[in-house]
């Protein structure tokens, strides 16, 4: 039941924070593998990007990928918070009746990694949908719902899984790498066109865009992270109260 309650709480938060996830995804793909000044900047910051997407794509575009985003939050955070809750209730995070910071950290990391790995396929779908936009403000590869063509999803999925683990542990800049790996186009043999894997994506982004490229969308990411965390914990507490009654 802890898994279900945790997932439901994360979904509640996602309804409010998904627009910033859309903004973050677009900003992370903007100017991919291009040097500064060589491409048109559609999204300058989180606020201007939100307005641009609203103006060009329409208000509903800010909720693109909502269904897979909800499923991702349910799977990822349900597993993460649910697993941690079970570990905590088993007494592992305590030593002689006192909470152990080291054990709590390890438990949280393991729970987060498990959630990220198992929810990775849904994150792939979410990223493809959120990246789609009108040609006037398009960035990154624009998938036309070709995710499940032979070989077109497996390479992005397996490559993205590695960076997803680092995202839950260290956030940016691995979040940028994760988004790009999930969204990269593939050839007829199912091989990534831009990147061969996590390290290749990291190296090419640094070489072409510099350190700045690894921190694109940071503002939107942290504007989303705070409210999402607060809302998730708030909904979790309220749902748990209701359930116990």
Segment 123-152, tens digit of pLDDT: 888 999 999 999 999 999 888 765 555 455
- Among 14, 23, 146, smallest CA distance to 74 is for 14
How many whole angstroms separate alpha carbon 73 and alpha carbon 127? 13
Predicted pLDDT at 145: 60
- Tell me: pLDDT of 156 over 90: no
Q: How many CA atoms lie within 13 A of 170 on its CB side?
A: 12
**CA dist., res. 120 & res. 8, Å (int):** 18
**Structure-model confidence comparison of residues 217 and 155, the more confident one:** 217
Q: What are the domain boundaries of the chain? A: 2-145+216-244
Q: Which residues contact 219 (CB under 8 A, 6 or more apart)?
A: 45, 46
Cis peptide leading into residue 173 (ω within 30°): yes
Token pair for residue 180? 């790009």
Tell me the per-residue pLDDT of 196-221, one tens digit each, with 9 for 90 and over: 888 899 999 999 999 999 899 989 98
Q: Give domain 2-145+216-244's CATH architecture.
A: Alpha/alpha barrel (1.50)
């Amino acid at each position: 039941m802890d898994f279900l309650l945790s997932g439901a709480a994360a979904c509640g938060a996602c309804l409010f924070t998904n627009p910033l996830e859309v903004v973050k995804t677009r900003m992370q793909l903007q100017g991919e593998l291009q040097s500064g000044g060589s491409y048109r900047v559609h999204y300058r910051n989180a606020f201007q990007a939100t307005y641009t997407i609203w103006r060009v794509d329409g208000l509903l575009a800010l909720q693109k990928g909502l269904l897979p985003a909800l499923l991702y939050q349910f799977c990822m955070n349900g597993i993460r918070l649910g697993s941690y809750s079970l570990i905590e209730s088993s007494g592992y995070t305590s030593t002689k009746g006192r909470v152990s910071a080291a054990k709590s950290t390890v438990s949280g990391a393991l729970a987060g990694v498990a959630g990220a790995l198992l929810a990775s396929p849904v994150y792939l779908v979410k990223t493809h949908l959120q990246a789609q936009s009108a040609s006037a403000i398009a960035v990154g590869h624009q998938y036309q719902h070709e995710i499940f063509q032979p070989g077109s999803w497996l390479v992005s999925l397996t490559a993205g899984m590695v960076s997803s683990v680092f995202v839950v542990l260290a956030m940016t800049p691995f979040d940028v790498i994760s988004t790009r790996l999930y969204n990269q186009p593939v050839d007829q043999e199912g091989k990534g066109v831009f990147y061969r894997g996590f390290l290749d994506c990291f190296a090419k982004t640094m070489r072409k865009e510099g350190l700045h490229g690894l921190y694109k969308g940071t503002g939107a990411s942290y504007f989303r992270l705070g409210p999402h965390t607060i809302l998730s914990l708030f909904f979790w507490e309220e749902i748990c109260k209701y359930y116990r009654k």
